[in-house]
Amino acid sequence: MRVAVCQLNSRSDQPANLATAYGLLSSAAAGGADLAVLPEYVDYLGTAAGLPDPEPVDGTVGRFFADAARDLGMWVVVGSYHERGPDPDRTFNTCLVFDRGGELAATYRKIHLYDVEIPGRVSYHESSSVAPGADPVVVECDGIRIGLSICYDLRFPELYRRLATELGAQVLVVPAAFMLHTGRDHWEVLLRARAIENQCYVLAAGQIGKHEPGRTCLGRSMVVDPWGVVVAQAPDVPGVVFADLDPGRLETIRRELPSLANRRL
């Protein structure tokens, strides 16, 4: 399977964000990708006051990416968008997966919400405007089982262990808008750890650059193999990077170093 991770700088103009995302998906398709992964909040990263009305899964944003997947003939992981939530004050942070025909194959709502206080550096409470999801999700894509997650989920290894051991994931996707001040020290380390401990490929698509209001994201989108080797990494600009996944290599690693089978807890 040939995969593409897309890196972009979403801002406060939703139509422009969607148009940019389509351009990256087109580049992914032109490069032969079977599957492309977009970052978290591909639809909008701006002020809360300017947020367009959140939509259901079959709303404008969902239909846009369903059409893109069908038109380009590839699987598309819409890293996340603002889905209409359980009450007027909260949305869901939702990942959608569309198959080659544009049919919705999976929906995952971010479970772990980013509530952080770092004095003098960041004060962010995702739970004040976002409702948490509840269920881990794995989707089969051209015979390969893909476990879904979003950004802050990356810090909770028990989610990925469940995706790999109970739900059979071979690939883990991590769309993100990882902030610069934490990401420069933690992003790659955490991605490689999740790959090594679960013996899975990891596809990480990130937002990059400054966003409104006063937020800067790391970028550094990458693909990590089941041995923990970074096999592809985006430069510090919007764009697309490619990698070829080898299920045979994954099975060899799991057979020769059977850490998942050797677990005792």
- Tokens coding 35: 């599957």
Residue 213 has pLDDT above 80, yes or no: no
Domain ranges (residues) in the chain: 2-256
Q: Which of 40, 55, 83, 95 is catalytic?
A: 40
Q: How far is CA 112 from CA 65, 158, 192, 200, 225, in A?
A: 25, 12, 20, 21, 24
212 labelled catalytic: no
Q: What is the mean pLDDT of residues 76-80?
A: 98
Query: Among 191, 168, 174, 179, which Cα is nearest to 250's?
Result: 168
Considering 6, 95, 151, 217, which one is annotated as catalytic? 151
Check residue 265 and give its pLDDT.
Answer: 79
The pLDDT value recorded for residue 93 is: 98
Fold assignment, 2-256? Nitrilase/N-carbamoyl-D-aminoacid amidohydrolase (3.60.110)
Lowest mean per-residue pLDDT among 52-66, 117-131, 171-185, 203-217: 117-131
Please tell me the predicted confidence (pLDDT) of residue 214: 78
Tell me the pTM. Answer: 0.96
pLDDT, residue 212, reads 79
> Among this protein's residues, is 40 annotated catalytic?
yes
Q: The dihedral of CA 50, 78, 209, 33: what is its sign?
A: negative
- Tens of pLDDT, residue by residue over 31-71, are 999 999 999 999 999 988 899 999 999 999 999 999 999 99
- pLDDT of 117: 82
For residues 213 and 186, which has the higher predicted lDDT (pLDDT)? 186
**What percent of the chain lies above the pLDDT cut of 70?**
99
The active-site residue, picked from 6, 55, 83, 110, is 110
Q: For a pLDDT cut of 90, what percent of the chain falls above it?
A: 92
What pLDDT does residue 168 have? Answer: 98
Q: Give pLDDT, residue 215.
A: 87
Average pLDDT of the chain is: 96
Q: Any catalytic annotation for residue 140?
A: no
> Could you read off the pLDDT of 93-143 as tens digits, one per residue?
999 999 999 999 999 999 999 988 878 777 788 999 999 999 999 999 999
Average pLDDT of 253-264?
A: 95
Please report the DSSP string for the chain in residue order. Answer: -EEEEEEB---S-HHHHHHHHHHHHHHHHHTT-SEEE--TTSS--S-GGGPPPPB-TTSHHHHHHHHHHHHHTSEEEEEEEEEEEEETTEEEEEEEEE-TTS-EEEEEE--S--EEEETTTEEEEGGGTEE------EEEETTEEEEE--GGGGG-HHHHHHHHHTS--SEEEEEE--BHHHHHHHHHHHHHHHHHHHT-EEEEEEBEEEETTTEEEE---EEE-TTS-EEEE--SSSEEEEEE--HHHHHHHHHHS-TTTT---
Provide the pLDDT for residue 173: 98
